[in-house]
């Protein structure tokens, strides 16, 4: 029997994040022929509803409210709980993003529901939706099923393949109103200290630097390489601690977890805390002067050399190939 699943989309900097399409794909798997309902919270979000329908949602609910223009756990939880009460879904899926990691436990607690967090794969076995999630900093994986009335999970961005866009798909878009009250937090302004361009957590290509970049200027050749590849620049905890870059770029156990198609580690030794944040990348290339560096243990390809010599050569060669293509 088909299920009703709420797929919670996410908008950032005026654009729909790719993880919004990934939660719809997971919702379709869990629904088993039932209804996937996209949900968008914020201000002026109705224009994004059609994109969710084209990627698989049967229906989209938009919640428009000035108090939801900037994320707060109070505001978003009130709005989402009201939608859940009205819809009475069999499943709820969110992205395992900074918002999802804060919002999902709060909602689960209010519903007295279990929560499966940071899933990287889902399949239906018999009557159960089976989620795979990494444990022990990615050294092992466990398969989990929900035994409660609601299947509630967050998924790691860039791990689930979104459904293809179907230009002829149609669906209902409903704009709902909710009463947001008693906000304990009011955001007056947001000052961003983050990487520009491609979102690090959703980037298909990541070029990351460690202490081996030797300083702020050392990230410039990495940025040039990332620009050529259409990727994002990240960093190890060591580089952030040394004030070479902002902590918003940190990848690792206490930073962002990324799973790009290509990860290029430049001057990164490969501490276990850093590996926890990138070891599930599809292809890993390591550039390091030390042939014994631990990063080579997880790399698919290794280059023993000075990153300040290797990275510019890679950049120039890639530029040449792009011109010839």
Model confidence pLDDT, tens digit, residues 94-135: 999 999 999 999 999 999 999 999 999 999 999 899 999 998
Please say whether the beta carbons of 273 and 288 come within 8 A: no
**pLDDT value at residue 182:** 79
223-249 burial: b if 16+ Cβ within 10 Å, else e:
bbbbbbbebbbbbbbbbbebebbeeeb
CATH of the domain at 46: 3.40.50.620
Q: Within this chain, do residues 206 and 172 fall inside the same structural domain, yes or no?
A: no
Parent domain of 77? 4-176
Same domain, 219 and 110: no
Tokens of 201: 């957590």
Same-domain pairing of 51 and 134: yes
Q: Under a CB-based contact definition with an 8 Å cutoff, are residues 61 and 72 in contact? A: no
CA dist list (Å): 27 to 56, 96, 109, 173: 9, 15, 21, 18
> Does 155 lie in the same domain as 55?
yes
CA distance 207 to 198: 12
For β-strands 91-95 and 4-8, DSSP reports them as parallel
Instruction: Clarify whether residues 169 and 224 are in a common domain.
Output: no
* Average predicted confidence (pLDDT) for the chain: 92
Task: Please report the pLDDT score of residue 325 as a whole number.
Answer: 67
By the 8 A CB rule, do 91 and 152 touch?
yes
Q: In this structure, are residues 266 and 299 in contact, taking their beta carbons and an 8 Å threshold?
A: no
213 and 168: one domain?
no
- pLDDT above 70: residue 158: yes
* Res 304 pLDDT > 90: yes
Range of weakest confidence among 11-20, 46-55, 207-216, 292-301 = 11-20
Region 32-50: mean pLDDT is 94
146 lies in the same domain as 22: yes
Q: For residue 35, how many other CB atoms are within 10 A of its CB?
A: 19
**CATH code, domain carrying 315:** 3.40.50.1220
- The Cα–Cα gap between 1 and 284 comes to 42
Pair (105, 65) in one structural domain = yes
Q: Give the ranges where the chain is alpha helix by DSSP (H).
A: 19-31, 49-54, 73-87, 98-111, 220-229, 237-241, 272-278, 307-324
- The Cα 286–Cα 299 span in angstroms is 6
Structural domains counted in the chain: 2
Average pLDDT over residues 53-81: 93
Is residue 307 a contact partner of residue 267, using CB atoms and an 8 Å limit? yes
pLDDT (0 to 100) of residue 14: 83
User: Are both 301 and 162 inside the same structural domain?
Assistant: no
Q: Are residues 59 and 120 in the same domain?
A: yes
Q: What angle do CA 248, 20, 71 make, to 5 degrees?
A: 55
């Amino acid at each position: 029997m088909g299920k009703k699943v709420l797929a919670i989309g996410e908008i950032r900097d005026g654009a729909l994040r790719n993880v919004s399409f990934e939660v719809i794909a997971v919702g379709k798997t869990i629904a088993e022929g039932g209804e996937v309902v996209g949900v968008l919270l914020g201000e002026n979000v109705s224009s994004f509803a059609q994109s969710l329908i084209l990627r698989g949602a049967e229906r989209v609910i938009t919640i428009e409210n000035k108090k939801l223009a900037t994320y707060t756990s109070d505001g978003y939880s009130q709005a989402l709980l009201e939608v859940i009460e009205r819809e009475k879904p069999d499943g709820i899926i969110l992205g395992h993003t900074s918002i999802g990691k804060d919002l999902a436990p709060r909602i689960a607690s209010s519903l007295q529901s279990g929560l499966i967090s940071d899933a990287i794969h889902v399949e239906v076995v018999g009557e159960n939706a089976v989620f795979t999630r990494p444990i022990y900093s990615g050294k092992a994986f466990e398969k989990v099923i929900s035994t409660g009335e609601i299947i509630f999970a967050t998924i790691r961005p860039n791990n689930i393949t979104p459904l293809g866009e179907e230009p002829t798909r149609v669906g209902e878009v409903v704009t709902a109103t909710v009463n947001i009250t008693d906000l304990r937090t009011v955001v007056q302004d947001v000052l961003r200290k983050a990487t520009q361009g491609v979102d690090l957590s959703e980037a298909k290509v990541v070029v990351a630097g460690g202490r081996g970049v030797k300083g702020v200027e050392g990230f410039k050749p990495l940025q040039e390489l990332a620009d050529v590849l259409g990727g994002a620049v990240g960093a190890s905890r060591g580089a952030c601690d040394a004030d070479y870059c902002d902590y918003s770029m940190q990848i690792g156990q206490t930073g962002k977890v990324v799973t790009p198609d290509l990860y290029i580690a430049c001057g990164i030794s490969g501490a276990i805390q850093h590996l926890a944040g990138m070891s599930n990348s599809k292809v890993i290339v390591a550039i390091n002067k030390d042939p014994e560096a631990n990063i080579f243990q997880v790399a698919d390809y290794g280059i023993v050399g000075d990153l300040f010599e290797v990275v510019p050569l890679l950049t120039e060669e890639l530029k040449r190939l792009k011109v010839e293509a």
